[in-house]
Amino acid sequence: MPAVNAKVLPGFRLSLGYTMFYLSAIVLIPLGAVYARGVSLSWDEFWTIVSTPRAMAAYRLTFSASLLAAFLDALLGLLVAWVLVRYEFPGRRFFDALVDLPLALPTAVAGLVYASLYAPHGWFGQILVPRGIEGAYSRLGVVLVLTFTGFPFVVRTVQPVLASLDPEAEEAAATLGANRWHTFLRVILPQLWPALLTGLALSFARALGEYGSVVFVSGNIQFQTEIAPVLIVDQLESHSYAEASALALVLLVLSFVMLAVINFLERWRSGRGN
Amino acid sequence: MATETATTLRPPVPSPVRPGQKDPLFVRCLLIGAAMTVITLLILVPVIQVFTEAFSRGVPNYLSNVLGDRETLHAIGMTLVVAGWAVLANVIFGLAASWAIAHFHFRGRTLLLSLIDLPFTVSPVVAGLALVLLFGAHGYFGPWLIDHGVHILFAMPGLILATSFVTFPFIARELIPLMESLGPDEELAAVSLGASGWQTFWLVTIPNIRWGLLYGVILCTARAVGEFGAVNVITGRIAGQTDTLPLRVERLFQDSNMSGSFAVASVLTLLAVVSLVIKTYIERKKL
């Protein structure tokens, strides 16, 4: 399609040219280097690197902890979004503003403070650890901190949809004899699915690549609490660039998949008129 | 193509009527209580804990941890310089990208929008690795650059590149939907009345998008200041030279200097809280 306003409005070539230049310099060329280095290995070499028991354990933990954290975020995020939109209570605005904190707080700080809260002498740890719940230096710790970093996504995608719901549909359901719970399940929840899934996908995507917070809480024990990004850093520090690139290429492919999923979900949402 | 994405998250306009007020009282109390507990345990307590730990050995100790430590002071400077350049680079990019994407239709526009989102889903560690593969001693460009005396890794340029990568979508993603919703009418009017392209940009576009731009800058700065994964790979953990504040937190943690680590963390937390306050203020202002 030819440029619509290009004949009247100046700056098309300059702005698009600069956009492409900067995108290439900052994002595409660097990621291209990871790709090039990864595919320069033969398939056998590549497979040997990414299928070692240590790598498989790291991928499995990254994937399962991220998924678990994303589901927790979806559940808790739906609750929080519901309460913030539907109810009036003292401190609502304060709590609403707090929801965004995980986006602004450096992940290293999140990791540091979670490690100390759930450690045996920490505020939560002294209650939980005697009961056998290890929230620091454990897989649970990884899930907890990933839940923290992904928390705003579900709340902030569900909130606007919930606020824009037509109250008449609910009133109609109530007049037809549905109780609140049925109205929620049959009338409200179906309209929230696209937003809820988008939020879930966003927090999952974010969790897959998370490093800064996990490195503090997990203890980084091979085969137990080592996530894939930590393994990549470990390979880099021992100057095993081929290994690091192969391991990173798997994560990079996952990133593209998640980007496609998120795009699909957002098109689905806008198609439904949200 | 939807314009609402990861980086344009914000609370909605509060609606005057809250339909849930009709819910039974015990349901309301239960749900409000549960939601407040979630936010308190997940977010509020950790923030309080940062400051409690930071001040656990008294104010003088805290001050000496922050202001009396040369490496921490150096890290504060590094962080400000790195974040400043990365944010500036992303502001220029965001303005160019939103001008091109919001005002013109061209082939590949949708693909370009997706590519702008890409850094959001890529692990910061992979971003750091990418720069090592390009500029490291065994990298694609590294040997040539090092021969010519240009050092990217373990130095300021690498930190800025890595930080620009992870904060790449923030400002563009804020400005594109904003400029799309404003439409090109005012710019077209200015141009048809004889204004030059740059005059139109500075006198029409910039005033129209100033709050959105500021909002994007705040989000971008918060993320840039706190970036850890990518810069951690780039600096190779060389002591005292290229540490930013988040790296300093980790180094002190590794040295088992917990009060020092929490003192630096409290500075970062304070910055995060301040950016949230400004962000909330802009949201009110824009609505």
B225 touches chain A (CB under 8 A): yes
Phi-psi region of B5 (alpha: psi -120 to 50; beta: other; left: phi over 0): beta
Q: Please state, for a pLDDT cut of 90, what percent of chain A lies above it.
A: 76
Q: Report whether pLDDT(B93) > 90.
A: yes
| Predicted local confidence at residue B242, as pLDDT | 79
Q: In the structure, what pLDDT confidence band is assigned to residue B8 with cuts at 50, 70 and 90?
A: low
Q: Please state, for a pLDDT cut of 90, what percent of chain B lies above it.
A: 71
Q: In the structure, what pLDDT confidence band is assigned to residue B12 with cuts at 50, 70 and 90?
A: low
| Predicted local confidence at residue B210, as pLDDT | 93
Q: pLDDT tens, A136-159?
A: 899 999 999 999 999 999 999 999
CA distances from A59 to A27, A52, A96, A219, B69 (A): 24, 11, 34, 16, 39
Q: Report whether pLDDT(A135) > 50.
A: yes
Q: pLDDT tens, B252-276?
A: 998 999 999 999 999 999 999 999 9
* E strand or H helix that includes residue A72: helix A53-86
| Predicted local confidence at residue B131, as pLDDT | 95
Residue B6 domain-assigned?
A: no
- Taking contacts as CB-CB distances below 8 angstroms, the residues of chain A near B194 are none
B interface mutation test: which of A7, A18, A19 has the most B CBs within 10 A? A19
Structure token digits, residue B62: 């805290």
A194-202 average pLDDT score: 95
- How many domains does chain B divide into? 2
Residue B8 domain-assigned?
A: no
Domain check: are B154 and B43 in the same one?
no
Residue B103 domain-assigned?
A: yes
Residue B206 domain-assigned?
A: yes
- Taking contacts as CB-CB distances below 8 angstroms, the residues of chain B near A236 are 128-129, 132, 233
Domain boundary among B39, B54, B69: B54
Domain check: are B50 and B63 in the same one?
no
pTM of the predicted protein model: 0.91
Domain check: are B40 and B175 in the same one?
no
Residue B2 domain-assigned?
A: no
Instruction: Name the residue facing A34 among B104, B130, B246 (closest C-beta).
Output: B130
Residue B11 domain-assigned?
A: no
Q: In the structure, what pLDDT confidence band is assigned to residue B18 with cuts at 50, 70 and 90?
A: low
Q: How far is B198 from chain A (nearest CA, A)?
A: 9
CA distance A96 to A107: 20
Q: In the structure, what pLDDT confidence band is assigned to residue A92 with cuts at 50, 70 and 90?
A: very high
Q: For residues A139 and A59, is the Cβ–Cβ distance under 8 A?
A: no
Contact flag B117-A259 (C-beta cutoff 8 Å): yes
Domain boundary among B54, B77, B101: B54
Domain check: are B50 and B96 in the same one?
no
CA distances from A252 to A46, A48, B49, B113 (A): 14, 18, 35, 18
B126 touches chain A (CB under 8 A): yes
| Predicted local confidence at residue B19, as pLDDT | 59
| Predicted local confidence at residue B6, as pLDDT | 45
Domain check: are B47 and B186 in the same one?
no
| Predicted local confidence at residue A252, as pLDDT | 95
Domain check: are B166 and B80 in the same one?
yes
- Taking contacts as CB-CB distances below 8 angstroms, the residues of chain A near B171 are none
| Structural domain span for residue B92 | 58-286
Domain check: are B45 and B64 in the same one?
no
CA distance A207 to A65: 8
Domain check: are B80 and B48 in the same one?
no
Chain A residues 94-113 with CB within 8 Å of chain B:
95-110, 112-113
Please report, as a single letter, which amino acid is at residue A262: I
Domain boundary among B54, B72, B97: B54
Residue B75 domain-assigned?
A: yes
Domain check: are B36 and B146 in the same one?
no
Q: For residues B112 and B122, is the Cβ–Cβ distance under 8 A?
A: no
Check which CATH number belongs to the domain holding B247 and give it.
Answer: 1.10.3720.10
A118 touches chain B (CB under 8 A): no
CA distance A184 to B17: 18
Please give the span between the terminal C-alpha atoms of chain A, in angstroms, as a whole number. 27
| Predicted local confidence at residue A269, as pLDDT | 82
Q: How far is B143 from chain A (nearest CA, A)?
A: 15
Q: For residues A48 and A246, is the Cβ–Cβ distance under 8 A?
A: no
Length in residues, chain B: 287
Q: How far is B197 from chain A (nearest CA, A)?
A: 6
Q: In the structure, what pLDDT confidence band is assigned to residue A272 with cuts at 50, 70 and 90?
A: low
Q: Report whether pLDDT(A237) > 50.
A: yes
- DSSP reduced 3-state for B24: coil
Q: Helices in chain B by DSSP H: which ranges?
A: 25-39, 45-54, 59-66, 70-103, 109-121, 124-135, 142-147, 156-166, 168-182, 185-192, 197-200, 206-226, 229-235, 245-254, 258-286
Range in A42-46, A83-87, A257-261, B233-237 with the lowest mean pLDDT: B233-237
**Tokens 């999140």 belong to residue:** A110
Q: pLDDT tens, A111-130?
A: 999 999 999 999 999 999 99
Range in A37-46, B59-68, B102-111, B236-245 with the lowest mean pLDDT: B236-245
A30 touches chain B (CB under 8 A): yes
Residue B1 domain-assigned?
A: no
Domain check: are B270 and B146 in the same one?
yes
**Which of the residue ranges A83-87, A183-187, B52-56, B84-88 has the most confident prediction, judged by mean pLDDT?**
B84-88
Using alpha carbons only, what angle is made at residue B280 by residues A116 and B225, rounded to the nearest 5 degrees? 50
Chain A residues 136-155 with CB within 8 Å of chain B:
147-148, 151-153
Q: pLDDT tens, B27-80?
A: 899 999 999 999 999 999 999 999 999 999 999 999 998 998 888 999 999 999
Q: Report whether pLDDT(A1) > 50.
A: no
Domain check: are B63 and B39 in the same one?
no
Q: Which residue in chain B is spatially nearest to A244 when comparing CA positions?
A: B129
Phi-psi region of B286 (alpha: psi -120 to 50; beta: other; left: phi over 0): alpha
Structure token digits, residue A256: 């593209």
Please report, as a single letter, which amino acid is at residue A129: V
Task: Taking the CA atoms of A191, A195, A198 and A203 in sequence, report the sign of the dihedral they define.
Answer: negative
Domain check: are B135 and B39 in the same one?
no
Using alpha carbons only, what angle is made at residue B131 by residues B130 and B137, rounded to the nearest 5 degrees? 115
